[in-house]
Amino acid sequence: MTLITTAWDADTDMLTIALNGHSIEIPAHPTTEWLEKNTELIKAGIWGEQTDAWEYSAMLTKPISEFLNMDVRLVY
């Protein structure tokens, strides 16, 4: 049983993440302009390495954090 599902719509280039009755939809290939308006540029630790990343808001990722019972963020 898959508890988190993802889908990419080639027509709209949108990525959908679905879990526990919640659905999160974000551009699969966002423009720099879109990222500047909708995310925050931060330093993120990914697989033990620090790198620049565009962080999506905590409100957007709240369903994922609640589902996993830990603080998580989506980054691009």
pLDDT tens-digit readout, 19-33: 989 999 999 999 999
The pTM score is 0.81
CA distances from 22 to 1, 19, 39 (A): 17, 5, 20
Cβ-based neighbours of 70, under 8 Å, separated by 6 or more: none
Do residues 74 and 26 make contact, with C-beta atoms less than 8 angstroms apart? yes
pLDDT tens-digit readout, 17-76: 999 899 999 999 999 999 999 999 999 998 999 999 999 999 999 999 999 999 999 999
Give, rounded to a whole angstrom, the gap between the first and last alpha carbons of the chain.
27
